[in-house]
Amino acid sequence: MNLKQFELKGKKALVTGGAYGLGKAFAEALLEAGAEVGIVDISNELPAAVKELKKSGPVTGIKADLSKRPERKRAFQKFIKIFGTIDILVNNAGIQRRHQAEDFPIADWDAVLEINLTAAFEFCRMAGKVMLKKGSGKIINIASLLSFSGGITVPAYSASKGGIAQLTKALANEWAGRGVNVNALAPGYMDTTMNIALIADSIRSRQILDRIPAGRWGKPDDLKGAIVFLASHASDYVQGAIIAVDGGFLGR
């Protein structure tokens, strides 16, 4: 086996929501594998994240509000202007809203679906046009355990991540034979800011932990190997897959 197939030297990668949490870990992993990375985020943490990530390789920050459709186009065009092309897209940006389903505000539903699903599709479409023209590229969508199950008090998030799984398969059906790999990672329960409410809920947190065979919540670094695999030539025959990195949760 030639381990060089995992190398990403010279590849141009775009990571949405890359300023903190899982996105930052994805960006760091791609840099460590040799890629040049652009991270798109609205967070005020973006400058600090770029400064820290530069220790691992060449990285550029692009500030944009991905809830706004013109901003998504502007951010992508700026990435192309800076990097010249795109070889890897990681659709990581996402938000969460929690309410009982019967009281779930339609405004929160719209906000979650817009960023988690519609923005992801739009980035897939923009990147796909570039990748298809040159006959190569890797698109990695970030799904969730809730792509497989319904969750509690998160109907919009569950719907968006179910949509991400099906979008991944649909795009793979169209693009696999044209040189573009489209796959998804489904992180398990991760110790990140998105899950602060769950972690703080002693009963729910214990219920989750009891179902994880690994015996712990995941950490962003647990996803680094999987993201490099899907971004590299090592995954050239992997298409439309939803790969769970969940400490064994789904197998319980």
Q: Which residues are catalytic?
A: 157
The residue with tokens 């890629």 is 35
Give the alpha-carbon dihedral of 41, 121, 86, 45, to 10 degrees: 10
CA 211, CA 214: separation in Å to the nearest integer?
9
Distance set, CA 104 to CA 101, 108, 155 (Å) = 5, 7, 8
Contact criterion met (CB below 8 Å) for 180 and 128: yes
CA 149, CA 44: separation in Å to the nearest integer?
33
Pinpoint the alpha helices (H) of the chain.
Answer: 21-32, 46-53, 69-83, 106-113, 119-134, 155-175, 196-200, 202-211, 224-231
CA 106, CA 116: separation in Å to the nearest integer?
15
Q: List, in sequence order, every residue forming a beta bridge with 195; answer none if it has no partner.
A: none
Q: Residue 188 half-sphere exposure, CB side, CA atoms within 13 Å?
A: 24
